[in-house]
A and B are shown apart, each in its own frame.
Chain A
Amino acid sequence: MREDIYQKFLETMEFSVEEMPTALEEWKRAADNIGLTEQDISFALNEWIPTYWDISLRGVRMCLGIYIRELIEITKVALYKEENKKIIYGISPSQAICFNAIKFAGKEEVFVSYPDFVLATVLGAFFDKLSLYCGDDSYFSDRCRHCALNRARINMSLVNVIESPDAIWSWGFYCDEGRKTDELIECLGEMQWKFIPTSLPHDSLFGEKEDKDGERVKYLAAQLKAGHEEIGKITGIEIKNKHMLDALVQHSKFSKKLDMLNKLVTNAEPQPMGGNELALFGTIASIALNVGYGQFESALDCILEEVKERIEKEEGILPKYSPKLGCHFTPLNVPWVDRMFLKNGISLTFSSHISFSKKDFMPFDYGDPYMIAAQIWLRNANSVNLGAHAQIMADMLDEYDIDGMLYGFFSFDRWLGTHQFSLKMIEEKSGIQHFYLEGDYWNDRNYRPEDREGRIESIAYFLRTRKMLKNKMNQTK
């Protein structure tokens, strides 16, 4: 009898025997729905995933499975609509807290997810198939600088891989491409596409601590509440303070565990796990999951135990005291980067996009949950003015034992602007050497790995030289 590759795939992703009959049927339908063939599944399972993901770790397999579970959920939206469930989408970057509050309020009556983000991540990171929806440049051409995630959203929407929602809450707090994309989808007029745009003026002073500016926090909190009220009007689901509090408690619990994982992995000698695997956990926690967080918590607890075990046994991905690079992008979307550095004796570690500074764990100045959520957003390095960004980044880097920071893969937007300036400030404040690689982590087809190899080798020689001297000096002390 021929082996069922779909079932083997789910078994590898730690789907249980009990859930297999239903899950298998749903997975086959979901894969077909998004355009993945049996051959694609086989390629992912036998080649791509083992190359780029350390699936000897059960926690990693479980976490990969959560992405697949959420993807299956997304392909069930048409069914949920028939059942009169309300459908709410989020976009990245945004804060999962506010979206989870909607789920806490509506429970099984509402579907909440980030479909473009999940689909693009799964297709790109696990199947090398992002081209399925990023290839068509009818609406966003290559010359039009944009985030390919938005191109994927348009293309997926037009072929109903992403069903139209009751509302998409389009956060424009630091990137306004998302809501412009939603406006474009609405203008194309081929489907109902109700979006709720929310934004915050970028009018704070350079270096100002925005989380300490009461008026700004209040304004942002009001925007978040207004978003919830609008969703309430559309869906009939009332989002109360207690739902926000539930979401905040959940956020706090996972933040602490993720912070622990980041520090255990980055600061251990030898480093027990790679940057791809680390980003896997932080990334999925940055979005709302309709499938819930039970599996995620189990995966997180499992990986923490496995990492501690490796540290105790001194098992690592490279020998002790090999150079380490922090990332200012999420490496899982371009998984070859991590492995190419590894081949050159360098390990990627935490991603600052999904990590925490000491500021994140300080007590809040407010009791109101919307004010707290606003303050959390304004403590994030990427949400604030460049001066504050540099300070938060430098504070974050202080807590990690790394030899350099790797920036880049944002060639579609930010790097054309001011981050080059902030990088100099972070370097000065932290004393940590920064490197930059051109690329697009949502669509790197113009940056072939083999063309980037030379740059990565140069960075590796630079860091290995420095580390060799450091280790030698430590020996002679």
Chain B
Amino acid sequence: MARAKISGKKEIVAAAFALVEQEGVEALSARRLAASLNISNMTLYNYVENIDEIKKEIIAEGFRQLYAIAYRSLESSNQNNLALDMKSASKILAEDIFDFGCSNKNIYQLMFANSVKKFREDMELKPFYSYFLQLLPKMEDKEKRKKIHKVLNMLHFIVSQMIMDKIIGIHDYSKQEFNAYVDQFVETMFNFD
């Protein structure tokens, strides 16, 4: 017999996250999700408005995990007193997002595929799509800031495209290859002084 209640929206998001990662976003439907939670469709809709809301929550959860990984990597470098400037931090972040994409292929596709324009434009999610912009400090020199902003956006574009190419089987970059590309881009483009 189906449960009448669940602990909250978090439980739905966790189940949806697992479902999408295992079977792809195409498998995400109210019926499948409700069945996996042992609740009725009606109970599901007491917690969420529609499937798009669930997709948004999955993307948000993906970003939460991704940003947590990135923070921990940088913190660990910081604590080990390694050089931590924009160049080295960019490389660390790129590697983290590569690892995240490889181990969460379906979630990554949902987060970054071009078909999800509306989520990219969602005001809650938007800042998190600018993954490398967390490295961009507030600075007096607005021109310099704009320049750095552009270069970080370019890095984001390259990294996203390479990971997507790998996931959908266009080019199976190894981690070493990926890092070499990132390294070359950063060493060539990060000259802001």
Contacts and interface: CB of A to CB of B under 8 A. Distances in A.
Given A469-B135, A472-B84, A433 B70 contact: no
A435 B60 contact: no
Given A403-B138, A469-B84, A472-B78, A437 B124 contact: yes
Given A431-B138, A465-B134, A469-B137, A454 B123 contact: no
Contact of A466 (B75, B85, B135): B135
Contacts of B70: 461, 465
Contacts of B185: none
B91 interface: no
27 contacts: A423-B123, A431-B142, A432-B138, A433-B133, A434-B127, A436-B123, A438-B124, A448-B8, A448-B9, A450-B9, A450-B10, A454-B61, A454-B64, A455-B124, A457-B67, A458-B67, A461-B68, A462-B127, A462-B128, A462-B134, A465-B70, A466-B136, A469-B85, A469-B89, A470-B137, A472-B85, A473-B85
Interface residues of B, number: 33
Given A431-B145, A434-B127, A462-B67, A468 B10 contact: no
B190 interface: no
Interface string B48-70: 00000000000011011001101
Interface string B105-142: 00000000000000000011011100001111111001
Instruction: Give the secondary structure class of B's interface.
Output: helix
Contacts of B134: 462-463, 465-466
Contact of B67 (A408, A465, A468): A465
Interface of B: 8-10, 13, 60-61, 63-64, 67-68, 70-71, 74-75, 78, 84-86, 89, 123-124, 126-128, 133-139, 142, 145
A469 B74 contact: yes
Contacts of A436: 123-124, 126-127
Instruction: Give the secondary structure class of A's interface.
Output: helix
A215 interface: no
Contacts of B133: 433
A407 B126 CA distance: 13
A420 B123 contact: yes
B63 to A, nearest CB: 5
Interface of A: 403, 407-408, 415, 420, 423, 431-438, 448, 450-451, 454-455, 457-459, 461-466, 468-470, 472-473, 476
B186 to A, nearest CB: 15
Given A448-B9, A465-B70, A472-B84, A457 B64 contact: yes
Contacts of B75: 468
Contacts of B71: 461, 464-465, 468
Contact of A451 (B8, B64, B67, B126): B8
B5 to A, nearest CB: 14
B68 A451 contact: no
Given A407-B123, A458-B63, A466-B137, 7 more contacts: A448-B8, A448-B9, A450-B9, A451-B8, A457-B64, A461-B68, A468-B75
Contacts of B9: 448, 450-451
B140 to A, nearest CB: 9
Nearest to B93: A465
Contacts of B89: 469
Nearest to A458: B64
Nearest to A433: B127
A377 B137 CA distance: 34
Nearest to B73: A465
Contacts of B13: 454
A437 B125 CA distance: 9
A34 B89 CA distance: 56
A414 to B, nearest CB: 12
A412 to B, nearest CB: 15
A49 to B, nearest CB: 25
Question: Taking each of A423, A450, A457, A476, which has the highest tally of chain B beta carbons within 10 Å of its own beta carbon?
Answer: A457
A434 B89 CA distance: 22
